[in-house]
Every structure is written in C-alpha cells, then in structure tokens.
Amino acid sequence: MEKYSTMGFLPDVLLGDFAGDIWAQIKVSLVVPFLRILMYVNLVMSVMLFTEIVWMSIAVAINKLFGKKPEQRYKWEPFKDDVELGTSVYPLVLVQVPMFNEKEVYQLSIRAACGLSWPSDRIVVQVLDDSTDPLIKGMVEMECQSWASKGANIHYQVRDNRKGYKAGALKEGLKHDYAKRCEYVVIFDADFQPEPDFLAQTIPFLHHNPELGLVQGRWKFVNSNDCLMTRIEEMSLNYHFKVEQEYGSITFAFFGFNGTAGVWRMAALDEAGGWKDRTTVEDMDLAVRASLKGWKFLYIGSLMVKNELPSLFKAYRYQQHRWSCGPANLFRKMISEIMRNNRVTWWKKLYVLYSFFFVRKIVAHIVTFTLYCVVFPATALIPEVMIPRWALIYIPVIITLLNAVRTPRSFYLVVFWVLFENVMSLHRTKATFVGLFETQRVNEWVVTEKHGDASKVKAATQQSQSRFKLGERIFMVELCMGIVLFGCACYDVAYGKYHYYIYLYLQSIAFITTGCGYVGIQVPS
C-alpha cells in the first residue's frame, strides 16, 4: 500500500498540490483513455503481424518438406548447342549494370557481368554510369574499354542528368537499338557478383514457360562478418528471402522484385509500362504492375548472388528510409489501381493489398515502434493501462524466434537483433508516414555507400579511429529517444508496478549506443 500511495502523491511532490490536481484531471479524462486506445490499436496490429508471420512460416515449412522444387513446378531444360543453328538457339540477353560513383566496386561488377557463361554473340553488357565524379567516370569507362578489347560486347552509357535516378537510367538504357533486340534483361547493382552460370540457371525457366515474367535470385552477403550491425542485417534479410519471397512465389507466383539479381522477360516489362520513377522503389512498382497484367514470378532460393551489406550506420539509415518510405508511397498511389484491376483474382488482389503492402510494409514498421518504444514505456509511467501478457511475451517471443531461426549461426545474437530492430523501427515508422502522406523527404534517394574489399575497410577503420570526434558521429534522434527510455526505466524502478525496467534499460542503452555512433564500422569521410 505504501508503494501505491507514493505513486499517487508523486505529482504533488513534483508539481505542487494545485498543479497535481490539474494533472490528475487531465490524466483521468485524456491521457489514460488515449493511451488505452493506442494500446488496443497496437494489439490489433500485433495480432495481424503475428498471424501473417506464422501463416507464411508454416506454408514455407510445408513446401520445404513436401513441395516441389522450381524445376519440378515449371519446365526447365538446359540450352544445348545446335550443329546447324549454332548459338542462335540461345536467346539474346541484355545485362544492365547501373552505377553511381562506385569507386570501390565498379571493377567487381563489370568483371562479374562480363564473366557470365553465355555465347558472346548472344549477350550484351550495358554499364549505365550516372557518376558525377569525372575521375570515377573515367575509370569506369576505361574498365569497359578494357573488357571490350578482350572481346566482350559491352556498352558504356552515360546521361547528362540523373532524372529518375536508377529507374531513369534503366529506362534510358532500354531505348538503344541493341537493347530493343534483346528478349530478356538481367539487372545487377554495382556491388553484385553473380556466378558464371547465373543465366544458365534462370533463362531456361523463362524460355520454356511463357507465363513467367520474372525469375529472381537470392542475395548472399560477402561482408556479414564485418560487425554486429551487418550480422543483424543478415538476420533480417534472410527472413525476407527465406520466408516472404519464398511464400509469395509458391502461393501466388508474386513477390516484390528486389531490384537486382533478377531476369525480366522484355515483353513483361514492356506490357507493365516499363520503368517509372514515381517512387523510390521502382523495382516493386514494376513488379506490382506486371503482376496485375497477369505475369507470374519465380523465386529461386538456391540461386545466390554475392553482394555487400551497408556497414556504416548512416548508410543503413538512408537505405532503410528508402525501403520503408517507397512501399508506403507506392501503396498510396496504387491502391485504387489494384482494386479496379480485372485481370487477376480477388484473392490475389487481397493478398497484394492486405498481406504484401498493408501488413508487411506499414503495420510491421508502425507496431514495432509504437508498441515497444511508446506504449510499453508509457504504461510504466501510467499503470492504469495494462498491456496483456500475451502481447508482452508470447507474441513477441514467437515472432522473434521465427525470424531468428532463419540464420542459425547468429541465433545467439537474438537479443541484440530485437533491440537494434526496435531502434531502426523509429526511422522505418517515420519513413512510412512520410510515404503515406507524401511529405518533404518522400522522393529522397541517397545511394547506399559501398566499400568492396572488407579487409581494406577494417584496416582503414583501425588506423583512423583516433581521428574521429564525438560531434561527427552523434545521431540526436536516437540519443534523445534513449534518454527518454532511460528516464522511464528509472521511474519504473522507483515507482513502477509492472517491473518493465529491465527491458527499458536495455532498449535505452541500445538507443544511446546507436546515438553516440558506436554501431557499424567507422570510416572517416
């Protein structure tokens, strides 16, 4: 009883009797009802997300145990040289490599594209260089000339502006006569290094199955061991590829194109309306439009393409803003178009609108931040609102395990994954609302910084740590959020009813550590 009395008189001690009475009235009439409504909204969203994740995980597990492999679901036969026809049995393929000031990785990507195993007269490599640095432009052009001298059919293309960013470059690249003659187009971002047999593994699916418009490969991360942040990124993306993409492919033959490591049928791309730059997720935009035209997609989880994870926290923030803002903005722009579409079933339209967009691209971001970083600490201050145990423990634990089990080698990092994902949910939630309401940063596009050779980055990092000043690495939003949560934890220790302080202290430390710039590697600008 003494503890509850202390809680009741705390406002009086801090504010005085008169102010304490006013606060008590405001709390009863406004704060508590608002917090309770916010909690119920978050509980509904939490159940929606939980149901989605469990259902997808079960479907993928059943398919893995009893389902058919891609080559059993679709016709697949390797191409064979014909004595009479020669290499003409192989379709003409365009390989597009878009890049922007990619000093560290341009050689890797061009080498990988030119090293693809396909008849040299049936493949065209197109390097789309939007670089603004004349020195880097010169190096990329020289690399292209070097490969051309070795017999590669490679074209170096530049624009006089960056209109439309990557989508604009890809669209411009398809206007050339040699590109129009190609039957298929494959896209590799500048840090992607496909294996030589990538085309041999993918093109036969498209060639023998006219209903397929896209074949997508999986990403394999070459620098996942750089730091704790890259390990956590790997855990999140492995769930995306092993569950979300796999589920979409096996159930609806639809998923979001990842923008790279995928092969498009040129006819599907053209029928969908080509590349559009109306959002920062031009790849997802194209995929949705092509699906609404009736084209089917195939995801091959066993086909892995090497690439690089963002290892700088600032770069990761920019990437996550784009990946969260773009889908929300695309949902806003396409919701009526999807509902009016007559070429796909209502069941598929429901999947795209509810599951693909609303739950995964909007609800997942918002509920992670508002429930665990707003409602949770708020109820520590206002014990009149109590979160049910199933929402506090059972649902989060099951969701966490279903995510973490996709990366067994990092399972022991699951606590760090939860805390860091909650930190990033702050930016993802903000970006989601930016996309939904089309505010100022809706079309912000910052190219993710890449470093190529991880060993060089680590060496530079170790040599330059002493040159960093604290003011150069502070992230004020995270730092302020961490301080607020730390205050809530201290209050819960002194006056709390539900003993949330253990979680609140850990989460506040995660925010403060991130806010002070001690996440990811540190490379001086």
> Which residues lie closer than 8 Å to 111 by C-beta, 6 or more apart?
147, 193
> Average pLDDT per run of 10 along the chain, which is 525 residues long?
44 58 85 96 98 98 94 92 77 97 93 96 97 95 97 95 94 96 97 96 97 97 95 97 97 96 98 96 98 97 96 94 96 96 95 98 98 95 93 96 96 97 97 93 83 55 50 86 96 90 97 94 64
Fold of 70-309: Spore Coat Polysaccharide Biosynthesis Protein SpsA; Chain A (3.90.550)
- 417 in Cβ contact with 228 (< 8 Å): no
Give the pLDDT confidence score for residue 17 in this predicted structure.
65
Which positions are annotated as active-site residues?
A: 130, 283
Q: Pairing relation of β-strands 123-129 and 184-187?
A: unpaired
At residue 198, the 3 state secondary structure works out as: helix
Cα torsion angle, 58, 64, 225, 98, sign = negative
Give the pLDDT confidence score for residue 21 in this predicted structure.
78
CA dist 259 and 268 (Å) reads 15
Q: Pairing relation of β-strands 212-221 and 262-265?
A: antiparallel
Q: Pairing relation of β-strands 212-221 and 184-187?
A: unpaired
CA distances from 518 to 152, 337, 465, 523 (A): 44, 44, 11, 12
Give the pLDDT confidence score for residue 444 in this predicted structure.
85
User: 175, exposed or middle or buried, with CB in 10 Å at 0-12, 13-18, 19+?
Assistant: exposed
Beta-bridged to residue 305, according to DSSP, are 219
CA dist 334 and 423 (Å) reads 29
- C-alpha Rg value of the chain to the nearest Å: 26
Instruction: Output the pTM of the full model.
Output: 0.92
Beta-bridged to residue 93, according to DSSP, are 123, 184
Which run of H or E residues covers position 346? helix 346-350
CA dist 438 and 431 (Å) reads 10
Q: How many CB atoms lie within 10 A of CB 272?
A: 21
CA dist 86 and 92 (Å) reads 13
Domain ranges of the chain: 70-309
Residue 381 tokens read as 């201050």
Q: Which of 130, 47, 60 is nearest to 96 (CA)?
A: 130
Q: At what angle do helices 282-292 and 313-340 cross, to 10 degrees?
A: 20
Q: Which of 16, 202, 52 is nearest to 116 (CA)?
A: 202
Give the pLDDT confidence score for residue 81 in this predicted structure.
78
The residue written with tokens 């492919």 in the block is 249
- 199 in Cβ contact with 112 (< 8 Å): no
The amino acid sitting at 403 is: N
CA dist 437 and 430 (Å) reads 11
CA dist 476 and 293 (Å) reads 45
How far from each other are the two terminal CA atoms of the chain, in whole angstroms? 58
- 482 in Cβ contact with 422 (< 8 Å): no
